[in-house]
Amino acid sequence: MAKEAELSPHELLLDKNKQRKNISHVAVEGKNVNLLQKIWVWGKEVQLKPNDIKNKLLLAKDKDGYTAWHRAAESGTLELLQTLWDWAKEMEPNPHELLLAQTGTEYNVWQLAIQKLNVEVLKKLWVWATEEKLNPNKIKNKLLLAKDKDGYTAWHRAADKGSLHALEMLRNWAKEAELKPEELLLAQSGTGYTAWQIAAQKNHLEVLKKLWVWAKEEKLNPSELKNKLLLAKDHYGYTAWDRAAREGSLEALETLWGWAEEGELNLKEFLLQKNNEEINVWQVAVEEENVKLLQKIWVLGKEAQLEPNILTLRSLTLYIYGAPILDVSRSHTTTQHSR
């Protein structure tokens, strides 16, 4: 029909709709592998230039900054990814550009696969990366430690999703790429979050426990365990302990407390630490009106042998914004007073 209407086949294949999506985007979003394969045949029939195939089909971005390659990774359909990969392998330049391509929001396919928990896609991407012999520096900086617009790496995204499988794969790949253990374990996001803080905030207890196991396996020294894990602060002055308290993640708090004991931290200081706003977990509990959290902190305060006057002051201190006081100092009863 294009020929009958005297349309250029090139124009038809490379045309974009109002969302700036070309026919490759449409085929991928419809999970239509046959159409995607047919597009490649048509492209060769009309002798599309390699540069057009690269920039106007493979790497062309829609209005959200996504290529067909990114959409295929999101979909989790390996056959779609394989088809696009085969295109890249047949043309010049090499397929490295596809592996490292970023969306308009700076996501690469690794981060997209993790966000959707597409583990099989993640495995396939690593196979291709090793087959193409990406140099260790690119694997480190363009894949494993590459940050999206939120400052998150694939490692942070895996922690955020609570995906132990993805974290384990990334850790193994980091070893293969000869990253130092702390480069992954202690990596900070753009706002200073570590995987520990993210897992504590989301109450991903199994992730938190696994991170601790890995930290000990890598024989991080006590100073690193203390200052770069348990007491490390993000840009808002929050530690993993603060994040767990803010979200009311009691199991995460108990786990972190056990590690503080194991790491021989000063438990009194640990319990009374403040963020950049001079707020500690006692005040957070009152602000959030979280009775269970306040009761838990009371128990930990006695375990840490806080002086009675400090326990009383902490539990009865008025908090700003007019939040009620939760009194746990009397046999864990919870009476409320107004300011």
Domains, the chain, in order of start with CATH, read: 193-339 (1.25.40.20)
**Residue of 72, 73, 82, 78 whose CA lies nearest to 30:** 72
CA 140 to CA 177: how far, in whole Å? 7
Q: State the sign of the Cα–Cα–Cα–Cα dihedral 260, 217, 156, 159.
A: negative
CA 294 to CA 116: how far, in whole Å? 36
Global confidence as pTM: 0.78
The string of pLDDT tens digits covering residues 126-151 is 999 888 888 888 888 888 899 998 89
What's the pLDDT score for residue 25? 93
What's the pLDDT score for residue 282? 80
Q: Coil, strand, or helix at residue 335? A: strand
DSSP 176-218: HTT--HHHHHT---TTS--HHHHHHHTT-HHHHHHHHHHHHHT
What's the pLDDT score for residue 293? 85
Listed in sequence order, the residues at least 6 apart from 210 whose beta carbon sits closer than 8 Å to its beta carbon are: 164, 167, 168
What's the pLDDT score for residue 320? 38
What's the pLDDT score for residue 321? 39
Ranges in the chain, pLDDT < 70 = 1-7, 92-94, 222, 308-339
What's the pLDDT score for residue 297? 84
Q: Coil, strand, or helix at residue 290? A: coil
What's the pLDDT score for residue 315? 47
